[in-house]
Structure 1
């Protein structure tokens, strides 16, 4: 179950190496043509595409010379390396200062639970002696925008870390440390505990959200009996929180205005408001404070207070409900409560603590509001609020109030974070051993002062605020131990693990309305609600040169093409997107012959979410085990023959704070055999008994082909590399109580020269047992069936200058549900292709291809939803030339592309496409080439 990537590497004896991709030290990448054939190893030099459609729409896209392309950035990186070797001892120092370009940093991995950095900006020193190694780092942490060096130095953060490693016989012991803290060189701050920035906002209102930690069961939610508010350490019975009830299913803002045409337009008073369920902002929410204050005005004086100019009153009263503070409150399922504690008018506040007498299955999240425009009458402009941050959760899923107790919520902003651990690795007679125990501590400090009266600038210069607010910290731990041994005929493995729900590897920075550098010209970069996320363990599921999640700012871009475990040839380019455009290859003409979506492939699914484990993409730090999960995994493997094996195993894991559990008992049979002159055969079978209600949500990248004018535009802008759109896929929890049979058959036939035949068949039968309401979320007995089939064949015929390749492919995906006699999915694709290449000279070739012939089109038939059925013909003609130039190899490609698509449903006729495009693409080559 553990997801362990590459481990610690000491550079004392080894030269530093970056990722082998187009962003790495090799300033080129493999380039493929429109047919999917290798073209050249190099870089884009020039590209221009001109398209016209039957609707007289003309689109154009292009990229200029290499001086303005990504190739130039390869030489912008600033990594300096120096070192010394002497009599078995060695030292290296690496310095990276890429300015704001995060990709120009140092790859640094200490341990899976403490530090995993892709682009460290700073200094790393490595020392090695015969039985030990030492590594030290010091780096800057900033918001990811291009700022002057003085701005970064005056107001930024520091990352310090180290790893000490010692060999004792066959065991290797390690100690790891990492600390990131905020600082300001102009003031004496709090050491590794950090301190607040001068621009940190002073809270005027505190918002606490209380919700059901297991909302899926719709019952046993939190019961709040009483609350107490402490200010500056003193109980304040005169401060009574305002309470409103809301629902996650209906918590969009009602703030906005109604146009003269009667249309209501919401006012997104924070940048993510209209994107709350989108990919970038999933799980990031702020309190709808403006809705609350308008609702409060309306309740205080329904007749005299006119709030209709700023809100839709009907929507407001439907989404918020008033809750009395004089009686216990309850929130089940999707319902939640928000407690607003107003502090304006207090002369000085240095600490705030809110105590809740609370029981059952609760989750408590904290946010606050600061005043950014004191003279503004509209609440959505007067206040600003950071994202909610979880501060307390009830262990398990208690529903009988047996855990009723006082829970304290301390208010503060993050200032520092420390992770430390001890680990061991070893090989005891073939037994592979790996383990680590780690603790995290996140430091907070209250921004003290008079709420609502902060002065950030005086006479154009920033005010250097001295902070004296109360401090507090949050601690948690994580550990794992794995054993693994493989023998000639028998192998086994075991792992125990636990990662606490509050084990934290991320520090959030939101220094107020002004940017981190105090410079108003950066206000337009209020990405992610003005929040910077500083990670010690970063999110890089596909282990490439780009992270999946990004810091705030515009210069560091996220990875727009995340395909974990889908780069078999290790060329730094996903196998499902060789031409690096905005569509996956399995959705593009000609290229779709070689690749298929994940649904058609085989892989383990130990977390039972329907996705292949090795290909999952999430938005979480790359910890070896999920947060809030602890348990064990045991398995044994017996080799039955030279080509077959049998495996038995059990997984038993529970959420530590959540109420979920995952118990899997499985058996697997595997057979693999290759005959060089005949082909290969692979057979897999798995039987597993599953009781899993732990959600493992993932992102799936562009699994649906674009159609109509949208597809034309995507093709026109294909030069925007890695421009995929991730689709959030919520775990359907289809294996909460199931007996699952899975089988896979793959055959390849290569006996006849030039002929290749491949067939893949995957079957799954999920027999779901009934679950009563007393056992949890009800589930009726059912059987869910899933079948995929891929058959393809191609033949390569060569005669003189001509190469002819006919290809044919059939693809089937079918999903059924017995209880409802429902066909959930039934999609069939037939893909006929003909490709012809004529070598005009040794450097020039004419290539022609057709996917879909006049009498035999490429056809997709969707029997579950016939509106999606269509037929398509694509014709492509390319003149390709390779010529040497100034020591390089230039590949020039001039082509004509024609495509026509028609839907079977006459109601979708407006989405039919008929377009022609002419393109010119030139590549600068470094690593070999081919005209074929």
Structure 2
């Protein structure tokens, strides 16, 4: 059995190094020649009738010996201390003494064993440390800080990881030239504070772990370059640690039963334009690499048929329902039953602006209804059929999400400040089949995102340029199982973990509702909150946690009250840029998307030149091209 100890924190008092003449608890940390057994004091071996009392605890703590006169006239008396204030001794698996203190936080993972992932938080985690433990040290130019908490403000980069309340472990290291951050968390359940010290931790067999790292190097005194890694994956403690994967494994209810039906839905990826909808010409299905289009024939519904193709334009959709139980073995098959299928691949001849989503009897919500997830999208918005091609994809349930990124920051290059980031996203899926608990068939989707900005300020002139691209499939979400190991794919509030939160008003609470653990927060908007109950981005310029349109915190906006009471205009008079043309000033806009610097599914560039004619008077001219 392999035991992977993630973190073990103790808070306690380390006893001073014992003197050789005193009875002591010997450890390999103090002297490698000591043993862990009881030692013999040579002074007790003299041939004397007198009974020897070896100095032990009272001598170490209070310098007291039974055979010496005690007088407290000059040296004040020290009262006895409660021995339990020092905590309890801790030993390693070989019985060697480690330290004395209190077990405050403990995260261990044992493989292979049932309920092998265990996180324990003692009552002192909350009562003594308010749910955040911090241990820091430094030596010369090297600084280190280790934190365990339920509400840590953490940002790696804007495109990869940014949360106002990260629940987990963060280890930061920095020197004059280098910086490194390591993050980890069991994101499906970060543990709860125990009611009593001896209570067992929160255990799981099917769980989701998240690991992240960011390294940064300073080049000279004007630039920084960094690499970022973020990964979340389903884990299974019932199998050996080496059989798990950073790409995830299906286990528990996710891998119970078999794939009995697969539903493919094809729709127009730009339904608002009302033209150039998705075109479907042919379809094929393969089981373990062998074509079974004849026996697993789909039931085709929806769409408009014309000239040998099926079109889905606007709000129309085409659905193909494949009954996998209709599998009939052929001479090319090495299996006899659909329960032996290891992977299913579907091929479609598509054209124009299409979006392909897929569901199955294993991919459902709480009511058992299928939930569709996107697997294919057409690049651009083609309307003339010029992009017709045969596309294939493997079916699978999501098991992991990975982000690999590069970022840079360069200051004062010919007067310009440069900022940029590039991230590649890998989304992993595996085919569910209860007959296969290891090496399940893997499918991967990829997406990319990048941006580059340049700005130069030379009074009174300002020059700015930016280029960006965000694939529509780019995702910083990871599905997480509940306490039974089940994932309900239609419930984002309980089954989705976000690497990048929606926090438009940039406060301590995320704007959307997700599964959060840890202490609740008291704000002026409410008591005991885990998510934001009032979002007003850009409308709290004095940072008093109250909307500038409702300073007296009642049910009536201030601009609707008597004008002599408040000097405030309606939001219709707010001035600013509306780059996405939705009628809302960008800095006051509250959306339900992750706080990426750019919208997904958009790419283009933006540039402008500005000049300050007089104080508070600026003239700007530029060009925006966004698609």
TM-score, normalised with respect to structure 1: 0.47
Q: CA deviation at 1:343?
A: 2.0
Q: For residue 90 of structure 1, what is the aligned residue in structure 2?
A: 143
Q: For residue 302 of structure 2, what is the aligned residue in structure 1?
A: 245
Secondary structure of 2:534's partner? coil
Q: For residue 509 of structure 2, what is the aligned residue in structure 1?
A: 546
The CA distance in 1 between the partners of 2:515 and 2:306, in whole Å, is: 39
Q: For residue 51 of structure 1, what is the aligned residue in structure 2?
A: none
Q: CA deviation at 1:117?
A: 1.9
- In the alignment, structure 1 residue 413 sits paired with structure 2 residue 392: no
Secondary structure of 1:199's partner? helix
Secondary structure of 1:632's partner? strand
- In the alignment, structure 1 residue 506 sits paired with structure 2 residue 498: no
The CA distance in 1 between the partners of 2:540 and 2:128, in whole Å, is: 25
Q: CA deviation at 1:585?
A: 5.0
Q: CA deviation at 1:641?
A: 2.3
Q: CA deviation at 1:124?
A: 1.0
Q: For residue 251 of structure 2, what is the aligned residue in structure 1?
A: 197
The equivalences for 1:302-451 within 5 A come to 328-344=309-325, 346-370=338-362, 384-428=368-412, 430-449=415-434
Q: For residue 491 of structure 2, what is the aligned residue in structure 1?
A: 528
- In the alignment, structure 1 residue 598 sits paired with structure 2 residue 571: yes
- In the alignment, structure 1 residue 209 sits paired with structure 2 residue 261: no
The equivalences for 1:711-860 within 5 A come to none
Q: For residue 736 of structure 1, what is the aligned residue in structure 2?
A: none
- In the alignment, structure 1 residue 609 sits paired with structure 2 residue 582: yes
Q: For residue 99 of structure 2, what is the aligned residue in structure 1?
A: none
Q: Check the 8 A contact 1:528/1:552 in 2, yes or no.
A: no
Q: CA deviation at 1:516?
A: 3.5
The equivalences for 1:556-635 within 5 A come to 557-578=530-551, 593-635=566-608
Q: CA deviation at 1:449?
A: 4.1
* Deviations 1:548-586 (CA, angstroms, capped at 9, x unpaired): 222248997432211111221123333334466676555
Q: CA deviation at 1:604?
A: 1.0
Q: For residue 270 of structure 1, what is the aligned residue in structure 2?
A: none
Q: For residue 612 of structure 2, what is the aligned residue in structure 1?
A: 639
Q: Which has the larger radius of gyration?
A: 2
Q: Choose which of 495, 500, 504 in structure 2 pairs with 1:537.
A: 500
* Deviations 1:40-69 (CA, angstroms, capped at 9, x unpaired): xxxxxxxxxxxxxxxxxxxxxxxxxxxxxx
Q: Check the 8 A contact 1:357/1:406 in 2, yes or no.
A: yes
The equivalences for 1:687-702 within 5 A come to none
The CA distance in 2 between the partners of 1:207 and 1:230, in whole Å, is: 15
Q: For residue 106 of structure 1, what is the aligned residue in structure 2?
A: 152
Secondary structure of 1:347's partner? helix
Q: Check the 8 A contact 1:84/1:92 in 2, yes or no.
A: yes
Worse-matched range after superposition: 338-347 or 627-636: 338-347
The equivalences for 1:269-284 within 5 A come to none
Q: Check the 8 A contact 1:348/1:449 in 2, yes or no.
A: no
- In the alignment, structure 1 residue 492 sits paired with structure 2 residue 484: no
Q: For residue 524 of structure 2, what is the aligned residue in structure 1?
A: none
Secondary structure of 1:493's partner? strand
Secondary structure of 2:272's partner? helix
Q: For residue 652 of structure 1, what is the aligned residue in structure 2?
A: 625
Q: CA deviation at 1:476?
A: 1.6
* Deviations 1:120-147 (CA, angstroms, capped at 9, x unpaired): 2221111111112111111120168979
The structure carrying a bigger strand percent of its residues is: 1
Q: CA deviation at 1:597?
A: 4.4
Q: Check the 8 A contact 2:457/2:463 in 1, yes or no.
A: yes
The equivalences for 1:74-153 within 5 A come to 77-96=130-149, 104-142=150-188, 151-153=202-204
Q: Check the 8 A contact 1:508/1:531 in 2, yes or no.
A: no
Q: For residue 166 of structure 1, what is the aligned residue in structure 2?
A: 217
The CA distance in 2 between the partners of 1:477 and 1:371, in whole Å, is: 26
Q: Check the 8 A contact 2:450/2:470 in 1, yes or no.
A: yes
1:499/1:411 Cα in 2 relative to 1: closer, same or farther (>3 Å)?
same
The CA distance in 1 between the partners of 2:143 and 2:516, in whole Å, is: 39
| Aligned CA-pair RMSD | 3.3
1:92/1:530 Cα in 2 relative to 1: closer, same or farther (>3 Å)?
closer
The CA distance in 2 between the partners of 1:228 and 1:147, in whole Å, is: 53
Q: CA deviation at 1:409?
A: 2.7
The CA distance in 1 between the partners of 2:225 and 2:217, in whole Å, is: 5
Unaligned stretches of 5+ residues in structure 2: 1-125, 195-199, 327-337, 521-528
The CA distance in 1 between the partners of 2:317 and 2:533, in whole Å, is: 35
Q: Check the 8 A contact 1:108/1:118 in 2, yes or no.
A: yes
The CA distance in 1 between the partners of 2:232 and 2:443, in whole Å, is: 16
Q: Choose which of 268, 271, 274 in structure 2 pairs with 1:218.
A: 274
Q: Choose which of 214, 221, 227 in structure 2 pairs with 1:175.
A: 227
Q: For residue 517 of structure 1, what is the aligned residue in structure 2?
A: 484
Secondary structure of 2:253's partner? coil
The CA distance in 2 between the partners of 1:365 and 1:545, in whole Å, is: 35
Q: Check the 8 A contact 1:134/1:164 in 2, yes or no.
A: yes
* Deviations 1:272-319 (CA, angstroms, capped at 9, x unpaired): xxxxxxxxxxxxxxxxxxxxxxxxxxxxxxxxxxxxxxxxxxxxxxxx
Secondary structure of 2:252's partner? coil
1:147/1:406 Cα in 2 relative to 1: closer, same or farther (>3 Å)?
farther
Worse-matched range after superposition: 596-605 or 483-492: 596-605
The CA distance in 2 between the partners of 1:330 and 1:219, in whole Å, is: 10
The CA distance in 2 between the partners of 1:84 and 1:243, in whole Å, is: 65
1:578/1:204 Cα in 2 relative to 1: closer, same or farther (>3 Å)?
farther
1:211/1:560 Cα in 2 relative to 1: closer, same or farther (>3 Å)?
same
* Deviations 1:158-199 (CA, angstroms, capped at 9, x unpaired): 111111111112111111111111113333343211112311
1:436/1:553 Cα in 2 relative to 1: closer, same or farther (>3 Å)?
closer
Q: Check the 8 A contact 1:419/1:440 in 2, yes or no.
A: yes
Q: More relative contact order in 1 or in 2 (CA 8 Å, sep 6+)?
A: 1
Q: Check the 8 A contact 2:510/2:531 in 1, yes or no.
A: yes
The CA distance in 2 between the partners of 1:630 and 1:195, in whole Å, is: 34
Q: Check the 8 A contact 1:480/1:496 in 2, yes or no.
A: yes
Q: How many residues align?
A: 469
* Deviations 1:311-350 (CA, angstroms, capped at 9, x unpaired): xxxxxxxxxxxx8999531112111111111223633332
